Structure 1
């Protein structure tokens, strides 16, 4: 199983050293998140400080950005990292698109599928000189002059991964993307009963396989050097489960476990602005569906129990001050967990 870790996107000066440490520890990739900060710039610092690890946006929100703008950013990161960039894209949800980004919310799965296809068409134009002629229902690209075309890289095009929760987005990811970045709001049962069978069918129909299609994430990890640290991380996860569980679009996961009423309650609390009270509504038996919790020495076994056979890559963030020996031993043990993915 592959291991990723997060960059400190709030501190550009720390991104290079953090990425270099992750590489030295044996991580397979470093990732940036689009929460309070831009997801692309931190990876530029990471690219210049490393030689091996992949650099992943996890994820960049697609619809507020033109595919041409994103293609340009991805191309530069792929160039300066010597082929190590992975473009992770996500749709976000309706409210954030319309009210936070002032972006229309139209057929998100179909539109994101076209977004991925159009970015690839732009990549091919730049790499091979192929005429830019992408025509879809939502995106159309037909103009590229030499002055605006970056030079070819003479390497494989940047892989593109899609974030997905529901069946329609999962099917689209299997059809058009190189991987899927599953939402943390997922349980093992949801992965086993919904995600994995659906992906298997769609990949087979597209003539693809899990060996070249990376499945990332699909739950939370709460870890630390001792039981007290793990408990502290678990409470952070409890809040995240409540926060995500308040989103109607994600309620299918609660439905699978017969706790749909909890989702309805959390949604109503979010509408009333009761964010600081929502976590208390998530009982331990629900929380445990979403999280692998263990101290560092027991974490690989907990990850295998929670994710084994279902995903190819997990994200592990170590507490400040954790020794290099502990980080490296933990990552090495996670690497020993079998997975299907080989390479893009």
Structure 2
């Protein structure tokens, strides 16, 4: 039955894992996505474990440009080494994969750096067919298999036929849980409003999110806080370290220890790479936010080198 409780404070840490983005570009389900849902996996399936039989000896299309897609691609590569007939295609909507490839040994999270390096080696060695700049719009049947059509710079392109699809296209928060509450959310990211400009993935790719706690995570609804990956909304850059400090600050505020609540310490690990949207933004820092002068100088110089074909953006400067 229904249970009702009164609470002085509520912390929403419900995450986003059960709300995957659709396969189709622009947040819209691709035509045929619902019809063929039984052959589409969202997120990271257990390719080498309980889902092995679904992918062994089959051809799979992986859609996505994040770490989830990278994990799926590498698992399929491992499966193909031991299961005859296993094949896979990797497609991304964007064309610049610097964020997923990462900074290798310069990444302060070694596992993340290793993941990026491995998937980059696989792609550049031809171990996977990689199609970039592909925005999926429809899925159709082709003699019992699937063909995915997508919009590219040159018009519609068809990929396949394939047997299964992995949509590693990210997640979004379930806002239906709090529809009756007075919340302030970023209009695009659906994150906590105060965090929106600080975590915009079009501007940020390094660990440069400033420390934030109970004040940034609160809402006009008295005593309500959003923490964890849900506080980032649709942004794909959340780290567990961020969530731990968020919860510590909020818990201290609820307990009445405002000194501890306001003493937020957040030092995020650098990725080893940074993306500079355009030359001439030194005042915004390496990745669109405040940064030491040394980082600014490094990134602006690196961006200029890239512009004349002499290098890429690969600076990593410890603050």
TM-score by length of 1: 0.28
Choose between structure 1 and 2: higher helix proportion: 1
TM-score (structure 2 length as normaliser)? 0.29
